[in-house]
Homo-oligomer: A and B are copies of this chain.
């Protein structure tokens, strides 16, 4: 299975990484929907995390995610519309509009973390805890440069 196409061993690795990611994300959102967050989309968790407990501005959010301030602003719009973020004026700078996580957003974030912990535990049950840790360590070694970049129109790239 790992080398699904023996003639092209290299093709398997990216496909497997994507499939592993999607497996976790799909499971997460199935469970989130069950727990009262059906509107939360895969991207949203990343954005909520990037906003953080202290809030940010759209421009800074864009920098954190590696996307334009306009794209960040539109994503914030959508999350405001479904009640996960709110915008407040910055009293110290009339140009800035602080973006903050609402209680509902914090709830979704907390549940996401719990669900991910449970999913990771499932992986550990199946593979053995040391295999999961080894995978994380190795991926950390290879992928540190792309840690949190989301500049991905459509899919990934470009």
Contact = CB atoms under 8 A, between A and B. Distances in A.
A92 interface: no
Interface stretch (A4-12, A54-62, A94-102): A4-12
A157 interface: yes
Contacts of A136: 2-3, 12-13, 16
A49 B155 contact: no
A84 B18 CA distance: 24
Contacts of A9: 117, 120
How many copies, total? 2
B17 A21 contact: yes
Interface in A83-125: 112-120, 123
A123 B116 CA distance: 26
Q: Interface size class for chain A?
A: 35 or more
Contact of A14 (B114, B116, B127, B137): B116
Contacts of A14: 21, 24-25, 28, 116
B140 A1 contact: yes
Contact of A22 (B2, B22, B156): B156
Interface of A: 1-4, 8-26, 28-29, 41-43, 49, 112-120, 123, 126-127, 131-149, 152, 154-158
